[in-house]
């Protein structure tokens, strides 16, 4: 009765940031569960990171550009005539990303908020309106962060070369609130909108940072990209048909303590 509950067969998915650290695994997961996946990213050179067994329809996308978003959506519709799933996983940022709060200029702040949160706004709006034209229904999944839920613990950055960028928390908190707004706004059209908030994901960070992070995580490790795939499949499929406006936290218990 439930063996196809997580199936995405006959569904068309658009994954922004689909060649990124987490995006690649999401593309693989949706592909494995039957979706036709459009991988949209600004970095085409990362295509080789996807296995040959994954069917990829690559589209160039800069989510900070409304014109680029329009062209990408047109390309999806030309190829598949519909879109059922949007996963916003793109992570645009400026060259000074990671500077200390007191060193961040207002221009940098505005550029990061506009390109990241603004890009999610543009992608969601364009896709949701297309879903309405298709007769309603569809699933939009935005990537937020635990740092949109709780304050950063700056002790884990002490003695390392990194910090938590000030704009990041504002952006990801905004993504969560914006997701809830959209969930309510488009509920009448049977368009579900949810978000995922990962905890720290391992990406070859220095040992001191990793050790401090792991020590504060109940499950005793950092996340890996594959940890996000099941959540995306759940929210993209009929398994979550009565779930909207939800922020699914995947953090090994970090925010539970």
Q: Which residues are catalytic?
A: 168
Structure tokens at 48: 């080789």
* Residue 117 and residue 81 in contact, taking contact as beta carbons nearer than 8 Å: no
* Residue 4 and residue 235 in contact, taking contact as beta carbons nearer than 8 Å: no
Structure tokens at 178: 């914006």
Angle at the Cα of 13 from the Cα atoms of 7 and 18, rounded to 5 degrees: 115
Rounded alpha-carbon distances, angstroms, from residue 152 to 105, 149, 207, 236:
20, 9, 19, 29
Angle at the Cα of 231 from the Cα atoms of 226 and 236, rounded to 5 degrees: 120
* Residue 61 and residue 90 in contact, taking contact as beta carbons nearer than 8 Å: yes
């Amino acid at each position: 009765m439930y063996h196809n509950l997580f199936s995405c067969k006959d569904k068309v998915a658009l994954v922004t940031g689909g060649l990124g650290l987490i995006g690649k695994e999401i593309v693989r997961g949706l592909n494995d569960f039957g979706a036709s996946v459009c991988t949209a990213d600004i970095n085409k050179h990362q295509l080789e990171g996807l296995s040959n067994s994954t069917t990829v329809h690559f589209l160039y996308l800069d989510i900070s550009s409304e014109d680029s978003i329009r062209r990408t959506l047109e390309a999806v519709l030309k190829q598949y005539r519909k879109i059922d799933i949007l996963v916003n996983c793109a992570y645009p940022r400026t060259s000074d990303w990671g500077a200390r709060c007191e060193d961040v200029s207002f221009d940098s702040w505005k550029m990061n908020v506009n390109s990241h949160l603004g890009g999610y706004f543009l992608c969601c709006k364009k896709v949701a309106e297309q879903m309405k034209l298709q007769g309603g229904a569809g699933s939009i999944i935005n990537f937020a962060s635990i740092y949109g839920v709780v304050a950063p613990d700056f002790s884990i950055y002490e003695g390392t070369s990194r910090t938590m960028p000030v704009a990041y928390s504002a952006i990801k908190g905004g993504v969560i609130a914006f997701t809830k707004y959209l969930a309510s706004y488009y509920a009448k059209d049977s368009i579900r909108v949810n978000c995922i908030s990962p905890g720290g994901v391992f990406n070859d960070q220095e040992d001191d940072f990793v050790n401090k992070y792991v020590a504060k995580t109940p499950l005793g490790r950092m996340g890996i990209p594959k940890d996000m795939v099941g959540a995306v499949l759940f929210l993209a499929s009929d398994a979550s048909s009565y779930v909207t406006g939800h922020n699914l936290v995947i953090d090994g218990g970090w925010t539970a303590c």
